Amino acid sequence: MDQSQIASLLNSSELIPIPEGLKLSYGTAGFRGDAKLLESTVYRVGILSALRSLKLGSATIGLMITASHNQVSDNGIKVSDPSGGMLSQEWEPFADQIANASSPGELVSLIREFVEKEEIAIGEEKKKKGAEVWLGRDTRPSGESLLRAAEIGVSSVLGSVAIDMGILTTPQLHWMVRAKNKGLGATENDYFENLSTSFKCLIDLIPNNKVEISKLLVDGANGVGGQKIEEMRGSLSNLDLEIRNTGREGGVLNEGVGADFVQKEKVVPLGFGLSDVGVRCASFDGDADRLVYFYIPSVSSGNKVELLDGDKILSLFALFIKEQLNTLGDGDGGKEGKKSRLGVVQTAYANGASTDYLKQLGLDVAFAKTGVKHLHEKAAEFDIGIYFEANGHGTVLFSESYITWLVAKQKELTQGSEEHKAVSRLVAVSNLINQAVGDALSGLLLVEVILQHMGWSVEKWNELYEDLPSRQIKVEVPDRTAVVTTSEETEALKPLGIQDGINAEIEKYTRGRAFIRPSGTEDVVRVYAEASTQEDADSLANSVAQLVKSFLG
């Protein structure tokens, strides 16, 4: 790293000092916190993103400024790798180090050390194309000033270019970065065109195509997602959409609205009421990477809703995809006569009833550590991998080799045959669903087309299985690191003996299940329990919480 590069970094970092006492950690959601305190963090992640681009041969990197479902006064920043996926976990410690560096001198020292270790050509050493970073932001008022900080960070790495892509959903930016690095059309219009074309293809393949289209109400969380689906509604002729909480009606982002609120509280969001009884409803979160469905079952329900969460969405997707594979001969792979590997990935927090249902379908159910990056990684091991968290974040991954096989098969089969239609549906799903990250817009379109394909109401979909009652408890402990779990977090390895105690409690309840896991951010241990009745689930959770206190108190 030459003197001109060092001077550039020192000069820019002196313009944006770190607030005293600020301590942040890069997680699944990137960095998040009070927007007033994040300018230095966003600036430094701008530097990191430019270095990441240089390390990967000047591939385009994405930077999204958002705090997703957090309150409007918060903001955050996360990095999209060239694949459209999350920042490589190997770079997360470096992100933590530079975000928390207390002075310009320490910051530059850390960068210099990292650049040498990673052998990144920078400054005068970089003779070819520099870094390229695409910046997106949601609708938060703080987004614009934080965008400027990111631009300063990127441009302080000499030869690097930051491109403002405007106000976007998080999934849009990830999709666009992935498309750009694959050499495909990567504008917002390309994204909309891809969704509408794939959706129309799937609609055209519905058997008999005589489905009565019922109204869908969409809760946009007063964020960017409501605005974006409004922009593309004209190209969605087979949807009767009514969009509420777009943010233009004066509502506050994520306040009493949105997927996170509906999923946690199981009540109607603001802007919905008893006049909507029986109507199919969907909620996005603030940056539109989460999706849940709900409906008000009756006038006597008050503000309570029937929730169709990420587990129900996963089950619907799995059922539809398996149906297409069955039409192809139970997923006969063709080349070597092998069956296609369709797998679903859940976390320990997935409701046990959903797991039982998926296993009854004959599906391969795998478990991953809590956090989207772990689910995504596991799902990528299958030809078709479906993952969802109960909170509504998830997607469907198709391996590149499997897509290639499907496209070739599509050409071989007789047009109009059931096998050809099944392959065509799978190809269209691979185009419609966002394979970079969970995407409320593309997820909603896939749900809608499957419901039309099946001829199902939202109530019929909800009958796939009935969730087991559950309870979650947080137990404060002196040291959360004393709890060590298996990689799937379903069993505790330490403290020794605690799992035996948990198993003994589970045995007391019909359909009992419970586990503990340490929080990633605070000194608490999280307890999850479920059983055949709410009373039993509560009792089991309390018993396990007492065990945690006795072992760690």
The residue count of the chain comes to 553
Ligand-binding annotation for 233, yes or no, is: no
Q: How many CA atoms lie within 13 Å of 300's alpha carbon, on the beta-carbon side? A: 0
Cβ neighbors of 178 (< 8 A, separation 6 or more) are 82, 83, 84, 435, 436
Ligand-binding annotation for 286, yes or no, is: no
Ligand-binding annotation for 289, yes or no, is: yes
- Do the strands 342-346 and 384-388 form a parallel or antiparallel pair, or are they unpaired? parallel
Ligand-binding annotation for 467, yes or no, is: no
Ligand-binding annotation for 93, yes or no, is: no
Ligand-binding annotation for 49, yes or no, is: no
Tokens representing residue 385 in the block:
């991998």
Q: Count of CB atoms within 10 A of residue 11's CB?
A: 11
Where on the phi/psi map is residue 57: left (φ > 0), alpha (ψ -120 to 50), or beta?
left
Count the helices and strands in the chain (H runs, E runs): 18, 19
Q: From 131, 135, 188, select the one nearest 164 (Cα to Cα).
A: 135
Strand order in the sheet with 215-219: 240-244, 215-219, 280-284, 291-295, 306-308
The torsion of the CA quartet 264, 266, 271, 275, rounded to 10 degrees, works out to: 170
Ligand-binding annotation for 81, yes or no, is: no
Helices (H), 170-289: 170-181, 188-204, 224-232, 259-265
Active-site annotation, residues: 68
Ligand-binding annotation for 141, yes or no, is: no
Ligand-binding annotation for 526, yes or no, is: yes
Binding-site positions? 68, 285, 287, 289, 389-391, 517-521, 526
Binding-site positions for substrate? 389-391, 517-521, 526
Binding-site positions for Mg(2+)? 68, 285, 287, 289
